[in-house]
Amino acid sequence: MIRSSQNIELYTKDYPVKNPKANLLIVHGLHEHCERYQQVADSLNEIGVSVFTFDLRGHGQSGGPRHIIQDMDEYRQDVENVYRSIPKNIPFFILGHSMGGLIAVNFLLYQERTDVNGVILSGAALEVGKDITPITVKIVRFIGKYFPGLKTSKLNPKSISRDPEAVESYVSDPLITKDGAKAGLGLALINSINQTKTILSQFNFPVLIMHGGADKITNPEGSKALFALASSSDKTLKIWDGAYHEIFHETNKEEIIAFMTSWVSERL
C-alpha cells in the first residue's frame, strides 16, 4: 500500500524481475482495477521489465469513496505518489488504458519529465465516445455541476471486447464497479479531455498509441489527434481493426500484447 497526498490508501501490486532492464507503471481505466493486467505484466517480465501497478483512489482495493472526485488532478496525484516509489536508476515506461491513458498524458505534461523512455496508450480517453452527442455532454455538465453524486448510465459490458469469456470475466469480477459513473466524475472527465486537447502538441515522448477500431467507449479519433499533433520524433499509431475498447482482453490479445512488448523491447 501507498498513501496518497490526501492520506488515502492506494493498493499496489508489483511484478518485479531480477536485474531489470526497465521499470514500467500501469495506470488502469474507469471502473476496473490493476490486477486485470496480469498477462500484460507477464509478457513484459519476459523481456526483463519490472512492472508496477496500483488501483486509483475509489477503485478496486484502494480506499476512498467510489468514483467521487472534484477534479481529474486527484488521479494524477495518485500516479505521482506511486511514480515516486519506483527506482529511477534504469529506463522508465508508463502504460495508460482508457481514462488511465488520459491521466498518464496529463501526468507527463504536468511538469517536465526527463526520465521517461516510452509511453504506451491503450484506448486513451482523449475524445468523448462516438455515441455521446453534444446534447448528452450538456446534460452531463448540468447534472455533474448540481448533482455530482448522481449515477449516470451503466457501461454495457458487451462493448468492452468481442471475446465472450472476457465479457463474462468482467461481469463476474467483484472488484469492478458495475454501477454507472457518478455525474461529477463524468463532468471532470469531459473537462479534462477538453483541456488536454489544447496541449497535445506539447507531447514529445516516445509513444505507442493503440486503439480498437470499433471502440464505442472511447473515440479512436482522440488517439489519431494525439498522433497528428504530438511533437514526438518517435511515435507509432496502431488501430486494431474490429477491436473493441479493451484491446488487452480482445480475441487477438496475444498479438496485441506481443506488438506492445516488441515496441518496448526495441527501446530498452
Distance, CA of 111 to CA of 63 (rounded, Å): 27
> Range with the lowest mean pLDDT among 47-61, 81-95, 170-184, 249-263?
170-184
Structural domain count, the chain: 1
Exposure b/e, 143-155, CB count within 10 A at least 16 = b:
bbeeebeeebeeb
Written as nine digits, the cell of 35 is 490486477
pLDDT of residue 114: 84
The residue whose grid cell reads 489519431 is 224
Model pTM score? 0.95
pLDDT of residue 248: 99
Mean pLDDT of the chain: 93
Average pLDDT rounded to a whole number, residues 99-119: 94
pLDDT band with cut points at 50, 70 and 90 for residue 245? very high
Check pLDDT > 90 for residue 131. no
Check pLDDT > 90 for residue 58. yes
Cα dihedral 162→197→224→136 (10° resolution): 40
DSSP 229-250: H---SSEEEEEETT--S-GGGS
Check pLDDT > 90 for residue 146. no
**Which CATH number belongs to the domain containing residue 254 in this structure?**
3.40.50.1820
pLDDT band with cut points at 50, 70 and 90 for residue 59? very high
Check pLDDT > 80 for residue 140. no
User: Which structural domain, as residue segments, surrounds residue 29?
Assistant: 2-265
> Range with the lowest mean pLDDT among 36-45, 89-98, 149-158, 237-246?
149-158
Closest to 143 in 3D by CA, of 208, 91, 190, 105: 190
pLDDT of residue 180: 75
